[in-house]
Amino acid sequence: MLDEDVLQQTLTRALRDGGDFAEIFVERRSSSSAQLDDGKIEELVSGHASGAGVRVVRGETTGYAHTADLTGEGLRNAAEAAAAAARGNGGGAQVIALTRRHVERTHEVTDAPETTPKARKLEVLARADDAARARGDSIRQVRAAYADGRRRILVANSEGLLAEDDQVRTRFSVQCVAVGDTGMQTGTEAPGRSVGFELFDEIDPEEVARIAADRALTMLSARPAPSGKLPVVLRRGAGAVLFHEACGHGLEADLVGRDASVFRGQVGEQVASPLVTLVDDGRYAREWGTFAIDDEGAPAQRNVLIEDGVLTDYMWDHLRARKEGRPSSGNGRRETYEHLPMVRMTNTFLLSGEGDPDDLIASTPHGLYCTALGGGQVNTATGDFVFGVTEAYLIEDGKVTEPVRAAQLIGNGPETLRLVDAVANDFDTWAGTCGKEGQGVPVSSGQPTLRVAELTVGGTAG
């Protein structure tokens, strides 16, 4: 993407006045999206962005500057600004000659977004619209959206690293509004993968539309959700964000380092039920949070965070790992070149157990069965987290019965991990956008059907 001499010169300029580490991150992004709403192809949007960020670390301080000007002069200015901003006490590191690092891709993209005709992207929207409306007259609004993005990145640093990646993602979403005697309800389904248009070889737009429409229709007959503590069964894929919030964030080394995590100092300790094995796997082929290298040039890898309930490791970025004299775990990510990297999750999975999902429900006399969720949020310093359930049913006498309206679940991370008392042998994933300090990055969560012995359900029914 850029001449190696220019990269080397930029790094040298960045460290001219001292510093321990310098890095340049170059990014070229293009995206296209289309939306069919209200029965009309409403909007096609194309976008392009490119730029670079230069980071200089001196002692405890990081200076950062970014620019959309990728000329030698633009990069030199950014290097000077970053060097001026890094004002800690730090040594005089030298720039080591750049060596290209090759990282094997987990999969190849076959139908690149820029070579896929716009008409094909619009056709899947029309199919989804038809399929959703076919679920009945109660479906009053359908919004189908297609979005793809290609992001080429290059990372070079003063330790001699030079690495590049080409990341493609495609997402398809359908939101339906159903209207009935009880008012209006919504249903959404939004699968995404790190692939091009071949996404539609594995997902069927009609099926996505049907799921979204039926979810909205089901909620029309839902009664108020219960209020108070209940056993909660999470269907495969539908509850993984619980673990993303309950412990994922708390295992990010930057938060641990700031003493802002309840999991600080607990490596080697039993922090969860023995049924819990949690991994963060940036190399799970085709998944939404997958990449070859992270935004600091480290190869993505599969990291075991909790094994049979025992905390094995945190997730690391370059800066935090460097301080501890250990390698990065490939979790240094940033939203764009305009942002500093920090520790982020990729694809965070709770691994499958041995039980049968139907038996798991049958052995639950009374509880809540969650089959779709919204997002969540956690305060890592206290461990308290929430997540929104958008489709759920009561379990009565071991059987799934009536639907209940959307509600928030609330719990405490360490307590909830200990309360996982059944894990089935199925598995599914869910694509989402994780926000941290104002930066959003694509992540996936995955989990088998499982049960938490007790969570607080935030409904209105006594």
Partner 1 sequence: MADLLGLVVDLAERAAPGEELEAYASHTRETDVKVFDGEVESLTVAERAGVGVRVVIEGRQGFAWAATLEPEIIDAALADARDNARFATPDEWHGLVTAEEARSNDAVTLDLWSEELARTTTDAKVAFALELEAATRAADPRVRGVEYASYGDGLTELAVASSHGVQAASQRTTAGCVVIAMAGEDAQTQTGYGLSAGRAFSDLDPAKAAADAATRSTRLLGATQPPSRRLPVVFDPLVTASLLGVLGAALSGEAIVKGRSIFVGREGESVAAPCVTLQDDPTNADAHGATMHDAEGVASRRNDLIVEGVLRGFLHNTYTGRRSNTGTNGAAVRSFASTPGCGARAISLSPGTRSPEDLMTGLEEALYVQSVSGLHSGTNPVSGDFSVGAEGLMVRDGAFAEPVREVTIASTLPRILLDIAEVGTDLEWLPGSAAGLTVLVSEMTMSGA
Q: Which residue of 14, 128, 219, 256 would you call a contact of partner 1, by CB under 8 A?
A: 219
Shortest approach of partner 1 to residue 231 CB, angstroms?
15
Q: Does 386 bind partner 1 (CB under 8 A)?
A: yes
Whichever of 424 and 441 has its CB closer to partner 1, that residue is 441
Per rule CB under 8 A, count of chain residues that contact partner 1: 82
Whichever of 307 and 338 has its CB closer to partner 1, that residue is 338
Q: Which residue of 97, 115, 181, 462 would you call a contact of partner 1, by CB under 8 A?
A: 462
Shortest approach of partner 1 to residue 302 CB, angstroms?
28
Q: Please, which of residues 232-271 interact with partner 1 by CB under 8 A? A: 258-260, 262
Q: Does 115 bind partner 1 (CB under 8 A)?
A: no
DSSP per-residue string spanning 18-77: -BSEEEEEEEEEEEEEEEEETTEEEEEEEEEEEEEEEEEEETTEEEEEEES--SHHHHHH
Whichever of 68 and 285 has its CB closer to partner 1, that residue is 68
Q: Please, which of residues 401-420 interact with partner 1 by CB under 8 A? A: 405-408, 410-412
In angstroms, the CA 96 to CA 132 distance is 58
Shortest approach of partner 1 to residue 90 CB, angstroms?
12
Residues 367, 373, 374, 378, CA torsion sign:
positive
Judging by DSSP bridges, how do beta strands 278-281 and 347-350 pair with one another?
antiparallel
Q: Does 323 bind partner 1 (CB under 8 A)?
A: no
User: Which of the 8 DSSP states describes residue 224?
Assistant: P
Whichever of 361 and 407 has its CB closer to partner 1, that residue is 407
CA angle at 53 for the pair 442 and 16, rounded to the nearest 5°: 145
Q: Which residue of 18, 72, 88, 149 would you call a contact of partner 1, by CB under 8 A?
A: 88
Which of 75, 96, 71, 109 shows the shortest CA–CA distance to 21?
96
In angstroms, the CA 74 to CA 95 distance is 20
Q: Does 370 bind partner 1 (CB under 8 A)?
A: no
Q: Does 183 bind partner 1 (CB under 8 A)?
A: yes
3-state secondary structure of 205: helix
Q: Please, which of residues 38-77 interact with partner 1 by CB under 8 A? A: 38-51, 59-68
Report how far Cα 273 is from the mean position of its chain's Cα atoms.
Answer: 24
Whichever of 278 and 389 has its CB closer to partner 1, that residue is 389
Q: Does 381 bind partner 1 (CB under 8 A)?
A: yes
As a residue count, the chain comes to 462
Q: Which stretch binds partner 1 (CB under 8 A): 78-86, 205-213, 323-331, 347-355?
A: 78-86
Q: Does 37 bind partner 1 (CB under 8 A)?
A: yes
Decide: residue 397, CB within 10 A, 0-12 exposed, 13-18 middle, 19+ buried: exposed
DSSP per-residue string spanning 267-330: TTSB-S-TT--EEEETTSTT-TT--SB-TTSPBP-EEEEEETTEE---B--HHHHHHHTS---S
Q: Which residue of 94, 99, 382, 401 would you call a contact of partner 1, by CB under 8 A?
A: 382
Q: Please, which of residues 330-369 interact with partner 1 by CB under 8 A? A: 338, 340
Q: Does 114 bind partner 1 (CB under 8 A)?
A: no
Helix locations, 94-204, DSSP H = 118-133, 199-202
Shortest approach of partner 1 to residue 298 CB, angstroms?
19
* Number of C-beta neighbours around residue 7 at 10 A: 22
